[in-house]
Amino acid sequence: MTVALVTGAAGGLGSAIARRLAAGGHRVAVNDHPRRDVSALAAELDGVAAPADVSDPAAVEAMVADIERRTGRHIGILVAGAACMTVAPFIEHDPDDWWHILDVNLGGTFACAQAVMPGMVERGGGRMVLISSEWGLIGWPDATAYSASKAGIIALTKSLGRELGPLGIAVNAVAPSAPDAPQLDVAAKAAGVTAAKLRARYAGRAPLGRIAAPEEIAESVAFLADARLPTLLGQILHVNGGTTRARA
């Protein structure tokens, strides 16, 4: 049994990932900001509730130590999905809010990867799956902070893939298009349309004719978390119905 930590697990995508990993036989620790309760999900999965603000490195260190104490094992799988997004024209975007998004999305991913790495080395290896975004590849107007943070995750994935691969730690990422997640609601509100209309707009851009469901993205995460794929590292998996066709 491998202990898996899923951050941002209170959201639709995060909870789908947690459920998929639990179904695969992993003991799942579910994290989100303390304001978002994950205790019910942890109980459902016979897992561990691990609330913490991932933008606070000290809180992340304490969370990882608590998970290892409660499970008696080092974390073998990290899925770093905690994220936030606001939408505003670049010239109007409040700098404090802009940097907060970077601190949570990119800084939080860094803090989690750094905190679980020693345990992964001690256990002889591990898997990290970082959640990026299609917008990290192509950018998006009025979402510069979110797009920049997700682009940073792509560079982080490639760099850690090179650095940690020799230690037995495979680092890969998923870059989905807009799934049915809170970020889609934020973007819809900013665009002045319903979430359903925005979903249809995004679906119209995709050769497949629809956007990915959270469960489909969760399947891609489970694939990248599989220890039977030791040579797959530093890769960005594009789960978007063909809108980017593996560019970059």
Catalytic residues: 146, 150
Angstrom distance (rounded) from CA 169 to CA 230:
8
Asked if residues 57 and 92 have their Cβ atoms less than 8 Å apart, the reply is no
**Alpha-carbon span 51 to 31, nearest angstrom:** 5
Q: Are 181 and 214 in contact (CB under 8 A)?
A: yes
Question: How many Cβ atoms sit within 10 Å of the Cβ of residue 27?
Answer: 22
What is the rounded CA–CA span in Å between residue 91 and residue 98? 11
- For residues 47 and 30, is the Cβ–Cβ distance under 8 A? yes
Q: Label residue 170 exposed, middle or buried (CB < 10 Å: 0-12, 13-18, 19+).
A: buried
CA dist 118 to 114, 126, 226, 246, Å?
8, 10, 20, 32
